[in-house]
Structure 1
Amino acid sequence: MKIKHTKNLSVRQGYRFLVTLSTSVMFLIFSNQAMAQKNWSLSLRSGANFTTTKFGDSNLKTGYGFEGTIAYEFLPNLAIYTGWGWNKFNTNRLFTLSNIDIVETGYKAGLQITAPIGTSNLKYLLAGGGVYNHLEVENSEGKMTDDSGYGYGWEAEGGIVIPLGNSFSLTPTIRYHALTRDLKNGNLPTEVNLSYISMGLGLSYLF
């Protein structure tokens, strides 16, 4: 029961985190003038994830995930961002377990640079920062059997910003993501490395 309760909390905490962030910091930190200049952006991204290393003693299948982020451009072309994401992988075997899912959830924050490409309307995007994530092991029935607890990792990405009018844009990106945590191999904690390249597409709204 405790494991199931923790699993439900991780999802609810993620949504609360994004809602609280998007409402509170606007009033506590920045002015109404900054808002009028469309320095804020809200983005939703989904993508396919391809692991680059073995995960424990197994090879994870291609995964997928989604995330929501909010960013504030505090200097020309330079923004700070934060958000919450969810990613899922499957494997036929991990240690003594078979047919399981690895679910990664957690928070992220960092810096991103966007700048025009020549005289076109396109922009390039470079971003990098830290993540504070945890890993859940789920059996074939969808029940969580292990939780790594939260820990720090990092990620870096690049892409192209394609404007869609004055307020929306599409952003195809390629990202490298790395996180190291401990999971149980029987009763023995064992280090696992979740490193993958994510190819995704984001939709952003400027306000």
Structure 2
Amino acid sequence: MTAPRIRVVLVDDHAVVRRGLRAFAETEPDLEIVGEAEDGEAAVALLRERATLGEPLPDVVLMDLLMPRMDGVAATAAIAAAHPEVKVVVLTSFGEVERVHAALAAGAAGYLLKDAEPEEVAAAIRAAAAGEVHLDAGVARELTRRMTAPHTGMGSLTPREREVLALVAQGHGNREIARRLVISERTARTHVSNVLAKLQLTSRTQAALYAIREGVITPPTQPL
């Protein structure tokens, strides 16, 4: 008896990438492309519609990370919450290692580099469908290196801490930061302390200069 084919949905904002993945998958007798989406929001809507209509959900979603409207990390989290039986394998470039870590935390079952060979793409899909995890070796090494490196620098800041750094650099005090971010002043003060500690800075002035140097904010224009 022939084993059931693995149902796959392709999610990428570049149509040419989706066409290439589809063309490859159609040469594999055990893979079946059952849908495509141009971004994370469309992917979540596609799965919701299939579930509502009683159609079989995909076994695996191949998910790009950088997309408009809803990126791959947010879409992975939404799919994992609504359809935990659906496995997500993210497609990434080597420069998106931070997003890979976030995608895994959101529930992704593995990741591939976009320049992976077709055989590796098929292997990742089959591994995910079988409940296994497929990790690109190069990205895995970089993730491990970052996880064991000292937690300093911009890469150590959470998204909220980056917001706080920008507001500090713009000259806002804790009360104004709390108002803008709709948090308590005590929480704002804690965030500022954490930012300074992670960046190994001792003052708000140093934080402002650091933010300008790193491109978090643009320096104020000097009057003529």
Superposed pair shares fold, TM > 0.5: no
Relative contact order higher in (CA < 8 Å, ≥ 6 apart) = 1
Task: Tell me the TM-score normalised to structure 1 length.
Answer: 0.24
Task: Tell me the TM-score normalised to structure 2 length.
Answer: 0.22
Structure that is richer in strand per residue: 1
Greater Rg, structure 1 or structure 2?
A: 2
